[in-house]
Structure 1
Amino acid sequence: MRFDTKLVHIGQEPDGPAGDVTPPIHVGTTYDRFAQDPVRYFYGRGENPTREALELCLASLEDARFCTVFSSGQAAATTALSLLSPGQRLVCCDDVYGGTHTLVVGLRRFGVRVDLVDLSDRDQARAALATDVDMVWVETPTNPLLKIVDIAEVTRLAHANGAVVVVDNTFASPVLQRPLRWGADVSLHSTTKFIAGHSDVLGGALVYDHPALHAAFTEHRTVAGNVPGGLDCFLVHRGLKTLSLRVGRQVSTARVLADMLRGSPTVREVRYPGLPDHPGHDIAARQMAAPGSVISFRYAGPVEPLLASTTLFTCAVSLGGVRSLIECPALMTHRPVPRQARLAAGITDDLIRLSVGIEDPEDLAEDLGSALAKPKGGFQTTEDMDDFRPSCDHLMHKHPL
């Protein structure tokens, strides 16, 4: 069964006494043991049929044996990190989601040695993984700088020292990247983002092959209680069915906007793996089906007026939904990260991150172009502003949907 068919059919077989084409949502918290032959279900914190259907589908998308889903992406990350013990060493990408940064740095309080390393730099990766490492935490593309890490190379180096490799695959989703194919041990998702796709449900997932990991992750989830309910699992699974359709549109539009941004006099730099001059372009082309739909750029004017000037791009955190979003990581998603650490990683105050939705690409280009063109002190003359009011016809011709 191919990928797009799995999205619709795996874990969605007609069920129930009426043969529902959409299986019923199981919201019960406990089960009648005498009604089960054989007994499978005991308590909702441990087992739930709707949850299991979602796990079955997510595992199939990455050709994996197992998937464990959680109440959020952070819950999934916490569970993966629970494999570490005091005295062990974690090597983590220096550019990661702000919540992940706080989580991994916090492990130092419990005696875990944590090193933040630019794993997109081959020399730095080799030096960091040469010896004495127990877990490697990869984001690719990274958040928010969109660096690209060579999963196969990092995994080879890590496995030579017996380390577990976890890849946060949230920015790509299984439709664009499957880390297990490149040797990673665990593929992590905030299913809140592209997988659910509608900004209306929280969730997380770990996808993997090894039975020992399955035992550890499911036990931790049951004991810690960071489980999603049946309704949440249903909503994630419902959104998952249109993953390929949504991401295809989002990527196509992102290409248009990345080209447009490169022509703006108030944009200093555009960071998008689909651009040929991106440092990780060749690696992304090899390990991803497409470069994704998140764009970051450095803005030459005052940031907050720009965030307030867009109409279709909503100023909000998160990403991967049907609605386009704009944010400043230093002010929003990465604000909890100490300023010195942010700047050391390259997350400067002028950095803007876009999550491209499924709206009409010309409308999005006009909205963003109009906001960039408004006088905020970043333009030299009014002619500069007028020259940049975009006509998107040539861009749409270059990147047809």
Structure 2
Amino acid sequence: MLGCSLVLSVQAMYSSSDDVVELTPSNFNREVIQSDSLWLVEFYAPWCGHCQSLAPEWKKAATALKGIVKVGAVDADQHKSLGGQYGVRGFPTIKVFGANKNKPEEYQGGRSSQAIVDGAMNALRTLVKERLSGKSGGSSYNKQSSGGSKKDVVELTDDNFDETVLNSDDVWLVEFFAPWCGHCKNLEPEWAAAATAVKEQTKGKVRLGAVDATVHQVVSSRYGVRGFPSIKIFRKGEEPEDYQGGRTRGDIIEKAMDLFSNNAPAPELVEILNEDVLKKTCEDSQLCIIAVLPHILDTGASGRNGYLDVMVKMAEKYKKKLWGWLWTEAGGQMELEASLGIGGFGYPAMAAINARKMKFALLRGSFSETGIHEFLRELSVGRGSTATLGGGVMPKINAVEAWDGKDGELPVEEEYDLSDIDLDEDFEKDEL
């Protein structure tokens, strides 16, 4: 499997008859964030083999912890906004929501029901000790706008709207509200929580703002605001559009991340020059796509640039996946090629590596937009043949010089002066 990417049977892993609470963007805030209980939450994908193996153990643990610790599960393949909100990058991921629901901790224990129960009880003891010592152990929903801070919602006015929003290169989601509006009051904590999460996840490239339309009537009337709350999306140089999504933080975050992906540049295509390049790219991404291109003497600069152009187009096409993209020259990283078994397929070659699972898949089709698209599409839906990385560890990487963008040059052979060499004058020539 590659990141649990082999499809077995895609079906609901938990049901109402289980003691596992099924969590979605519509009930997560109510069930988990506003709760005073300790929660263990699994983020899974139905097609993930490891998730399927965990499911019976998760159910046993939920039954054993019933009435003591809450146990839930999120289908993060279906509800990507929740997975994104909590930094889920692989499956299954287990988070412990304890004293501070806004900062869950990652569960690092075993995957048996006994290990899960032991981990839950340890977390529960920690929570109780914190409460005894006077630390807040309850929900911080009402204290910090349910996971967000109002400071991350930008206050917009008639005076600053154009400069802050319209002249910005960032994408903006703007809420027009009225202080007396009940729906606006319900939205406020969700908007604040989403603002914080979106700011962190997009590095400020997508922002959330709010306009008190009862005070700042010029900008509100300009955009035809007649009901509250009204939410509009602003991109530089484009007409604003109405936000049509749900009003939970998960819905808002999901839309914001879609906007971010659509407007974000494609990931950089990086040459593997040393071990740090490979390590950082692969460890920071769910998958890293690696191409081994023919030697520069075989293709010249134009041929190599043609292959790189194909990769750049694919990186743009799949930029929402947030994968890493790397390339190297044939013979430049022999241990990498050996661990992937690439040499036997000729060049150019391509592999997708899941560094967390030490699994990889090879491109078997053509090194073309069509061939690579089919390869990556199969990976995206959980299909494709995979194998364990040679030795189960990342290979050693040699430090090499960056390609200078030019054609290669054949090494200059040393010329020998034969004038001083004595030849045997008595040498008899062979006769035909």
Question: TM-score normalized by structure 2?
Answer: 0.22
User: Which structure has the larger Rg over C-alpha atoms?
Assistant: 2
Give the TM-score normalised by structure 1.
0.23
